[in-house]
Amino acid sequence: MILYILRQNKNENSASYGKYYAYPVIEETITLDGLAEHMSNHNTPFSKGAIKGTLTDMVNCIKELLLEGKNVKIDDLAIFSLGIKNRGGANTEKDFTVTGNIKGVKLRARATGELVTKNLNLEATLKKATATTKASNSDDQNP
């Protein structure tokens, strides 16, 4: 169940000024430790510690491979890659410098397989969050 709240666009320079849009309510962020514990409770012969060790190594290896200029695809999750945050363009190739024209790098993740938007739309259930009950039953919807 995905809870959502409504927010009004207050940007007067926007074509959608004054309109309301749904935003997801994130109730909790699960850490690597929490994910390992969750996974160990799903009929696996591996302990939470063994799973956490494997996941920790995976995270470190993904970072290492990304910094080598490679993409990493984890089936049914995402393709991880790095992008470049440009500060501004240079008039010529000769004028271009890393320090003058690049702000930094960013992590990108594109959903793949079972996690693609089309599949999520079929499986997701939405419910409006309220201040008193956290959710309102009258607005249950599949996107």
Q: pLDDT tens, 60-83?
A: 999 999 999 999 999 999 999 999
pLDDT per residue as tens digits for the range 80-110: 999 999 998 999 999 999 999 999 999 999 9
How confident is the model at residue 135, as a pLDDT? 44
The answer on pLDDT for 132 being more than 80 is: no
How confident is the model at residue 133, as a pLDDT? 45
How confident is the model at residue 26, as a pLDDT? 83
Q: Both ends of the chain: CA-CA distance in Å? A: 12
How confident is the model at residue 134, as a pLDDT? 46
The answer on pLDDT for 37 being more than 80 is: yes
pTM above 0.75, yes or no: no
